[in-house]
Amino acid sequence: MRISKVSMLFAVLALGAVGCGTDDGIPTAGDAKPPLAFVRYINALPDTMNTTVRFIDYLEYTPQTFLNVAYRGVGQGLYQGLKAGSRQFRVFNADVVNYSVAGNTAVLAEVTQNFEAGKYYTILFTGYARTGTKSVKIIEDVIASPGSNIAIRILNANTGLGSIDAYKTATATDAIAGSPTFSAVAAQAYSAYVTAAPGAFAIRATAAGAPATIHGSGTAQTGTAGTTSSDPIGGSTVAGTVMTAMVFPASVTGSMAVASAAPSVVFVVDKQPPRTTSP
C-alpha cells in the first residue's frame, strides 16, 4: 500500500504534538496538573427555575457538574476541583429540555473571581430575581477539623428571613428552649462551627431573638460508619464529619422554583470522615 506525502506529513505533525502543551487551553500528554482550588454551588434563589453554572474561560480542570441545580440544591453535593487563579463563570437558567446545555438560555449572572490554590469556596446564588436583588456571593470555606467529634454550622442562605437563631435539638419537633446554639446569623452568611459528640440531632431555625417565629426545621442525615472494605459516609453519628445546616425561605408562589411551601433546613456535608480503607 502506498502512503501519500500528505498523509506522512500529518502523521509526523501528530507525533510531534504528543507530550507537548498547547496554547489553546487544552491539556495534552505530559502536562502537569495545575494548582487547584475547590468550589461548590448552592442555588438559594427562591423565585426562578433551576440554574446551571458554566465556567467560560477554560475547559480543562473545570467543574462540569453544576447542572440543572434546583432551588435549595447543591451542585453535585460536594466540592469540585478548579484550576486556581482568576476565573470567569456565568449562571444560566437551566435548559428545561436538555439541562446539559447552557448558552441558549438567559444569563442570570456573570462573575470574575480569584480562587486561590488549596482553598475551598462556596458559590452562593441568592436574593430574588423578580425584585432585582439577586446576587452571587463567593464565600471562602475554612473547614473545621473535629477529630473524634462532629462539627456543625449554619448557612442563612437568603435575605428573605433576616437574621436567624438556630437551636440544636434531639428531633425536628422538640420544643425550643434556652439559648440558641447559633445566634444572630446574618443573611447570606455562615455561622462559626460548633463541635459536638456524634449522635442524631436536628436543627430548628427561628427569627433572631424571636423563638416563636419558626424559620424551618430539619433532621441531619445519620451517615454510615466505615469498615475495612467501605469508607464512611458523613453524617451526624459518624465521627470526623463536618456539616452545614442551610436555612432557606419558602419558594415564591407561582414561580418556577422547586416548591417549598415553608422555610426549611437542608443539610450538606462539608467534609467526609477519615477513610477506613487503604488508599
List all residues 6 or more positions away from 251 whose beta carbon is below 8 Å from its beta carbon. 46, 47, 71, 257, 258, 259, 260, 261
Domain boundaries, the chain: 32-142, 144-279
Q: Would you say 106 and 81 are in contact if contact means Cβ atoms under 8 Å apart? A: no
Q: Report the pLDDT value the prediction gives residue 16, as an integer from 0 to 100.
A: 37
Residue 113 one-letter amino acid? Q
The pTM score is 0.85
Is residue 106 a contact partner of residue 89, using CB atoms and an 8 Å limit?
no
- How many Å apart are CA 44 and CA 36, to the nearest integer? 25
Cα–Cα distance measured from residue 198 to residue 18, given in angstroms and rounded to the nearest whole number: 51
**CATH architecture for residues 32-142:** Sandwich (2.60)
In order along its 279 residues, the chain shows pLDDT tens digits of 444 433 333 333 333 333 333 333 444 455 678 999 999 999 999 999 899 998 999 888 888 778 889 999 999 878 999 999 999 999 998 876 665 555 567 889 999 999 999 999 999 999 998 888 899 999 999 999 999 999 999 999 999 999 999 999 999 999 999 999 999 999 999 999 999 999 999 999 999 999 999 999 999 999 999 999 999 999 999 999 999 999 999 999 999 999 999 999 999 999 999 999 987
**CA gap 129, 94 in Å, rounded:** 15
Please give the Cα distance from 235 to 143 (Å, whole number). 15
Please, where are the H alpha helices in the chain?
Answer: 5-17
Q: Which residue has the cell 469540585?
A: 80
Question: Which pLDDT value is given to residue 58?
Answer: 84
